[in-house]
Amino acid sequence: MNAVRLSGVTKNYGAHRAVDSLDLSIPTGSVYGFIGPNGSGKTTTIRMILHIIHPDQGEIEVLGRKETRASNDRIGYLPEERGMYKKMSVKRLLTYYGTLKGMSKRDARRVGVEWMEKLGLEAWIDKKVEALSKGMAQKVQFISTVISAPELVILDEPFSGLDPVNLEVLRAAILELRESGSTVIFSTHDMTMAEQMCDSIFMIYRGKKVLDGTVASVRASYRADTIRLKLSGGRSVLEGLQGIDSVNDMGHIQEVRFSGDSQELLQRLMAVTAVNHFEITEPSLHNIFIRIASPEPEDVAHV
């Protein structure tokens, strides 16, 4: 059973094709990550799933129905660009959003307080929104999205700007939603987070789907052509060596895309420096992302 199904969905903004013939199925109860560079069509896809904007072509089915809208009480949506009424108290704000999602005032107030306690914000419930820090405000926004226990939760960049402590709190809360049976879709630029949390990944680039599947299957689809190195001599040792297609320098560790005999490379390196770490591996999601989304030579030439 799919919570969301898109088939042949296309959306144009004037001459610009934002989403191009997109097919996508998101199983119920899964955590699905949307990745892709800025402006690649993530938010447009999310807005179409929510019927905030309509596709020019194709069909979208959400929670078994074709006309399910964002305003449906079974969906919770946290948009990327979000604001709150600064002068309202947190309690009043959560009650307001809860009632807009069809809850009674009393239930909205009760569940709001429960979530505030769960996310360690109970002391702030009577404070005005303008008194909250950025991280706190983001957590309150998350609560406003999930207060009505929706079956489908769509979070556009939920982790942006969060410190590691708050990030962990929010991650735990999202995973708890999955435990309770909700389907969670979230978009992110944090590949590590996507890799750790998502059952499946969908990547969109220039309006087209370029990756779709479980993290393991996505990574396995790339050959084990990556060698992770830790060299005493640093990156400079790698310069001029044959067979090295690209080097991703992460400071103390370098990831090398290598075509040729890896044992030969190891020997050549050992001849010039001490090799502290040598690992033949599949590319990380981060690397795959960069490989897909890096500007092609002709793009660079045009800049």
Site of interaction with another protein (CB under 8 A) = 47, 50, 52-54, 69-71, 75-79, 81-87, 96-97, 99-102, 141, 144-145
Nearer to another protein, 21 or 99 (CB): 99
Nearer to another protein, 85 or 221 (CB): 85
Say how far apart CA 97 and CA 94 lie, in whole Å.
Answer: 5
Nearer to another protein, 100 or 125 (CB): 100
- Do residues 154 and 176 lie in contact, with contact meaning Cβ atoms separated by under 8 Å? no
Nearer to another protein, 43 or 226 (CB): 43
Distance from chain centroid for Cα 108: 28
**What's the 3-state SS for 83-117?**
CCCCCCEHHHHHHHHHHHCCCCHHHHHHHHHHHHH
Min CB(102)–another protein separation in Å: 8
Min CB(95)–another protein separation in Å: 10
Nearer to another protein, 36 or 76 (CB): 76
Min CB(11)–another protein separation in Å: 13
Place of tokens 């995973």: 175
Say how far apart CA 32 and CA 202 lie, in whole Å.
Answer: 7
Say how far apart CA 193 and CA 186 lie, in whole Å.
Answer: 11
Min CB(37)–another protein separation in Å: 19
Min CB(82)–another protein separation in Å: 5
Nearer to another protein, 82 or 178 (CB): 82
Min CB(42)–another protein separation in Å: 14
Residue partners of 221: CB distance under 8 A and separation at least 6: 213
C-alpha torsion angle, residues 169, 123, 95, 157 (rounded to 10): -30
- What pairs with residue 186 in β-bridges? 33, 155
Distance from chain centroid for Cα 147: 21
